[in-house]
Structure 1
Amino acid sequence: MYDFAKKEFEKQYDSKMTVKKNQQVKEGTITKSKWVAVNGLKDIPCRISKKQITPVSEGEFAGISYSISLYCDPLLEIEPGSRISITDLYGVVREYKRSSEGFSSYRTHQEISIVRDDKT
């Protein structure tokens, strides 16, 4: 029954993600921190959900003021603090930072809170 439910849930995945983590990389004689894609976590099917937290009132500029959840396979190991690059079904790539620890108590999926990396 859970396998069927998991397959039905995965039919809703409309995006692909690549997970990066910060690690020490040696370039010549210099060792520095760099965001590197995690082996095996590239172009993984996923789905994001946005929930508005506060509405924009008159006179305010619209910003990124919503909660974002990432849904993916519960067996994936995504470290807290990872950076996640998500490509939606239109080919638009958005960067997300500060991923939380995955909530994988569900048998069909895990849920991870992420924050959009707004570089404006």
Structure 2
Amino acid sequence: MNAFSKLKDIAPKLWTDKVTIKTTKKVVTEHHITTSEPVTIVSDEPAKVILKGLKSGEQSFFGTDEYDATLLIRTGLDIPAGATIEVTDINGKVTKYKRSSKGYSGYVSHQEVAMTRDEKA
């Protein structure tokens, strides 16, 4: 067992954020009508959000709060592109991310998901 394999067990213990990840699943009903239903991938899962550089000059006059972030989360989860991610930080503040990339699981210790917060401030 190498050092990176050990990190896979240790890293999540250091993450203080909790995430709930949801997506939609297409369901075909009778007469070929397709509808979507919400599906929860994980709930209250330990993770860590890393914010990209947020510059005050990039804030809009119209009060939008938009920035990019990266989610670090354990491997073994299939996170599809477009999933909705709700993050609760250590202080109980909830932040919703509407756009996300597919999880990149090229690391032994974790996977990364690029996210964008795009809400009214």
Q: Name the TM tier (shorter chain).
A: 0.7 to 0.9
Q: CA RMSD in A?
A: 2.7
Q: Secondary structure at the match of 2:100?
A: coil
Name the counterpart of 1:4. Answer: 6
Q: TM-score, normalised by structure 2?
A: 0.76
Q: Which amino acid aligns with 1:98?
A: R
Q: TM-score, normalised by structure 1?
A: 0.76
The aligned runs of 1:1-120 (5 Å cut-off) are 1-23=3-25, 33-38=36-41, 41-52=42-53, 55-57=55-57, 61=61, 64-120=65-121
2:66 and 2:118 in contact (8 A); partners too:
no
Residue 32 of structure 1, CA deviation: 5.0
Q: Secondary structure at the match of 2:15?
A: coil
Provide the rounded CA distance (Å) in 2 between the counterparts of 1:118 and 1:90.
20
Provide the rounded CA distance (Å) in 2 between the counterparts of 1:43 and 1:72.
12
Identity %: 34
Q: Structure 1 residues 102, 24: CA separation in 2 closer, same or farther (over 3 Å shift)?
A: closer
Residue 67 of structure 1, CA deviation: 2.2
